[in-house]
Every structure is written in structure tokens, then in C-alpha cells.
Amino acid sequence: MASTADIKNGVVLSIDGQLWNVIEFQHVKPGKGGAFVRTKLKNVVSGKVVDRTYNAGAKIDIENVDRRDFTYLYNDGDNFVFMDVEDYDQINVGAATVGDAAHFLLENQQVQIALNNGNPLYVELPASVVLEITYTEPGLQGDRSSAGTKAATVETGYEIQVPLFVETGTKVKVDTRTGDYLGRVN
């Protein structure tokens, strides 16, 4: 067991059987009364953010989370298969754990997976990826009813909004956090 003195940004705590990532922390020593630690925690699985206060010196349970580099190999039904870049071991990660990252995964793409006791917690993609547009309607010069954007399907099957001048076959940069179009790539 650790104490509140061990709290740092990025540390993962186990609270009531759930894993929480420390986003922010602040040691507070008021003029009157005992010191305490204010924390902002994010649930590793659901993404929910909560504030929690601990008395100074209180015992906390710090979990060991290992972030390692993997290469995405292929989709096997409900599982995504990744290979560790160091020892070439393959792991299966469920679709629920991969979540929205599946919209931007291409074969042989480098990702980072957070593991706790060998169990994958979440998949972390790079901030942006380059994808090819597989289908989009031709943009008409006078058509401005949709604020200058149109729907386009990328090679993973995900649909994004792109400017009217983007055509089928164009490679575009896409933000993996929001799914927004960032620009064309040559």
C-alpha cells in the first residue's frame, strides 16, 4: 500500500475495484486543520472524470499499468489482433476495449496499449492518421447548403465530413480523437 505522498500525474489508482488515472493533483496545507490532497481522476475504462479528496498520509492502492507499443495485424470477428513490437507476442483485444479506435485502425499501424496484469485496458492511437477516401459524392461548385462539406467514406469504412473539393482516392489526415478532417496529404 502506498500513501497520498506517492500520487503523481499519470499514476493509476485502484478504487472500489475500478482503475482511475490521476489527471491532476494538489497538496493543500491550510492554516488551520490537517493537510489533504485534492485529485482529479479519470476512469480508465469509461472515461468518467471525478474529483476526490484524501487526507494527507491516507493509504491508497496504486496499480501497475504498462504502456507498450504494438502493431495492429487484423480483425478476427469480435477481437482485434495486435503484435508486441519487442517480443512478437500476439494478443487479442475485444471490440469493447478497442472502442472508437476501430474507426481509424489500418493493418500494420503502430498503437500503444495499456496493460494491467496482462489484461488490455485501452488502445491509444496516434493523434492523427492518414486514410484514403474510398467513396464520396462529387462536389458541386454552387452547392453550399451544407456549409462547404460533404460526407466521405474512408478505407476503414468510417464516414467523415470533408470539404467539397476532396475527391475519391484522395489521402486525408484525420484526427483520431474527434474524427475531424485535418487536411489533404500528398
pLDDT digits (tens, 9 = 90+) for 105-139: 999 999 999 898 888 888 889 999 999 999 998 86
Alpha carbon 137 to its chain centroid, in Å, reads 30
pLDDT digits (tens, 9 = 90+) for 60-100: 999 888 889 999 999 988 899 999 999 999 999 998 888 88
Same domain, 140 and 166: yes
Same domain, 8 and 40: yes
Please state, in angstroms and rounded to a whole number, the distance separating the CA atoms of residues 112 and 126: 8
Does residue 143 have a pLDDT over 60? no
Same domain, 111 and 136: no
Looking at the chain, the number of H-run helices and the number of E-run strands are 1, 17
Same domain, 12 and 52: yes
Same domain, 132 and 103: no
Same domain, 30 and 79: no
Helix (H, G, I), strand (E, B) or coil at 116: strand
Domain that holds residue 153: 128-185
Domain CATH code at residue 46: 2.30.30.30
**Whose grid coordinates read 492502492?**
61
